Amino acid sequence: MEQHYFNHALTFRKDICIGCSHCMTACPTEAIRVKNGKAKLIDERCVDCGECYRVCPVGAITVDQNSLEEISNYEYPIALVPSVFSGQFPDNITHAEIIQSFYDLGFSEVYEVEHSVDFVVEEYEKYLQKEHARPFISTFCPSVVRLIQVKFPTLIPNLLLHKAPLDYTALYARKKLLDQGVEPDKIGVFYVTPCAAKIVAIKSPVGEEKSTIDGALNMNYMFNKSFRIIKNGISSKNKPTKKPLSKQSICWSLTTGESSIFSNIRSLAIDEISNVLEFLEKVENDELDGIDFLELRACDESCAGGILCQGNRFLTAEKLRKRATYCETVEHKNKPKTEKEFFEMIDYLRENSEVQPILARPIMKLDDNVVEAMSKMKRMYEITNVLPQVDCGICGTPSCQSFAEDIVQGRADIKQCVFVQRILEQNEKLLAVDSANIMKDIWGHKKLNKNSLRDELKDIM
Amino acid sequence: MMEFSFEINGGDFSNAGMISSLVKKTLKQLNIDGMIIRRTVVALYEAEVNIVAHAYSGVVNVNIFPDKIKIKLTDKGTGIADIDLAMQQGYSTASPAVREMGFGAGMGLPNIKNNTDELNLESTVGVGTMLEFTNFFEPK
């Protein structure tokens, strides 16, 4: 079975895009093409990693997000703030001030996402005892799950089908209000997200029917809102702060956050999407010996390197680890760490956290029919042999290989290759003016207007 | 039908797995079922490592038909004296040097057998070994 419904949180703004193709080159799944001078996303191939967003020089890729005003639609808006959020701030701003700023922004409850980590760890430990394809692959990073769906469907049985701390904290926060007699419609759960993938996970979840979260707030946007309030002075009416997080909770979203916890088994942590891609190839070949658990994260330095984190990822990670060490000191140790209520609510949490099977979304297949796919592949080889293997991207496709595939799939014409054009022109099979028109279809009229160079380069014109 | 052939050098452990990866990519493009791809790749990888570990050189012929993949690995090498014994789990003739590199646990041939639909093994001591296996795309 395959999944055919996609929804992405990244929007390519045609009015801003300058057709520079940086995003096309950066995309790890070759999901972007350039046409009519604008970048175009092939929805099926996108895994929401946000590498395109990182490299866009003009900010033409925007993230679909909820705005802060939307919290007023709910009588009880709850903020779920991940620990990496506080890592964005300078040292002289305290964690308590950051949390208080959310109350001042209008939230009635503020939770750190990682409040449920100690509970989740116990649930995971039980899950890891199960009869299961090894190694277990964590489903914490939504981009990694999507990458496996599209490029490594044979590894779907290895995915650890368990909800993330975010879902449990959301369930818990909501349930606490429900128990106080609050009507369900009046509760709105908002997550401050460090990445686009989490937004998609909320809007079109994989492995669950409906998300437990009502809205996603861009972390960068919330950093500005929160910082401004702190700078102008937060209100003094301090809300009771939640119990401090344990060390493992604070570090959960950093690299080795999961793998370091399961010390009784062999586990490994890998971050950054090209590293993950390289490693999944090995996993798929069954080249690993005795590794039981894989923590894979799409961003360098994991969530500290999320595309919506404005702070430097290394500094954020360092701050979090420092805070975690502080939480381990004696004065903190005496306070109860994890919220016991999570365990008291265990039946409710388990009942409401069932995970649906994850389906393949294979992008590599050339055709559903094997015979047809074989003949397309043969043509692809023939075409690839003609292409220069320069991967210049001037055809509007990220590589000669993907260009050959686009041709056999009817999405591109071999005359889009500049090398093929020159060969055809030498053989008088193509006129220079036709070549120019083909280029205009790819890169837009502006870049190839024959009058545009006249003033600047008088000498050569 | 599609045909590929590759050469393998004995002792070249660093490149063991390259052919498996290429075949894997091809099968994905042909929209072959994931479990069948996985079985094929695991068997091929083991067979590749066998040649690297035990032979001087080898040739891999991959034939893909609309309903099956047939892979033939022929090597020049020491050969296998007792095929039945070699098919047993845990039996290995790998040298200490090979074992030190993490290979040679004696799982190779049994693992290949477990992951293939048809298997044919012929060997002459001092000359070499021919291993041929087939996996069908539709489960039989």
pLDDT tens per residue across span A2-35: 554 557 889 999 999 999 999 999 999 999 999 9
Instruction: Of A198-212, A230-244, A289-303, B104-118, give the range with the top mean pLDDT.
Output: A289-303
| CB-CB under 8 Å, B34 with A154 | yes
**Mean per-residue pLDDT for B31-38?**
90
Instruction: Of A135-149, A274-288, A351-365, give the range with the top mean pLDDT.
Output: A135-149
CATH of the domain at B46: 3.30.565.10
pLDDT band per the 50, 70, 90 thresholds, residue A1: very low
- Kindly tell me the sign of the dihedral angle through the C-alpha atoms of A45, A153, B134, B57: positive
B→A interface, C-beta within 8 Å: 1-2, 17, 20-21, 24-26, 28-32, 34-35, 37-38, 41-42, 45, 64, 66-67, 102, 137
What is the predicted pLDDT for the residue at B36?
93
Instruction: Of A131-140, A330-339, A441-450, give the range with the top mean pLDDT.
Output: A131-140
* CB contacts, 8 Å: A289 with chain B: 102
Interface test with B, best of A374, A378, A379, A408 (most B CBs within 10 A): A374
CB pairs under 8 A between A and B: 61
Peptide bond into A194 cis (omega under 30): no
Q: Tell me what ipTM this predicted complex has.
A: 0.79
As annotated, the residues of chain A forming the CATH 3.30.70.20 domain(s) are 10-63
Interface test with A, best of B27, B31, B136 (most A CBs within 10 A): B31
Quickly list DSSP for A313-378. HHHHHHHHHHHHHHHTSHHHHTS--S-HHHHHTHHHHHHT---PPPPB---S-S-SSHHHHHHHHH
**Mean per-residue pLDDT for A113-139?**
90
**pLDDT tens-digit map of A80-106:** 999 999 999 999 998 889 999 999 999
Residues 6+ apart with CB under 8 A from A52: A10, A23, A26, A27, A32, A39, A61
pLDDT above 60 (res B18):
yes
CA distance to partner chain B, nearest, from residue A281 (Å): 7
| CB-CB under 8 Å, B64 with A154 | no
d(CA A211, CA A193): 14
Residue with more model confidence, A459 or B68: B68
Q: In total, how many domains does chain B have?
A: 1
**pLDDT tens-digit map of A183-197:** 999 999 999 999 999
Domain containing residue B63? 2-136
Largest CA distance in chain B: 42
**pLDDT tens-digit map of A308-338:** 999 999 999 999 999 998 887 755 665 555 5
**What CATH code is assigned to A10-63?**
3.30.70.20
What is the predicted pLDDT for the residue at A327?
80
Question: How many Cβ atoms from other residues are within 10 Å of residue A230's Cβ?
Answer: 17
Interface test with B, best of A134, A150, A287, A384 (most B CBs within 10 A): A287
Q: Which residue of B has its CA nearest to A1?
A: B33
**Mean per-residue pLDDT for B96-118?**
76
pLDDT above 70 (res A38):
yes
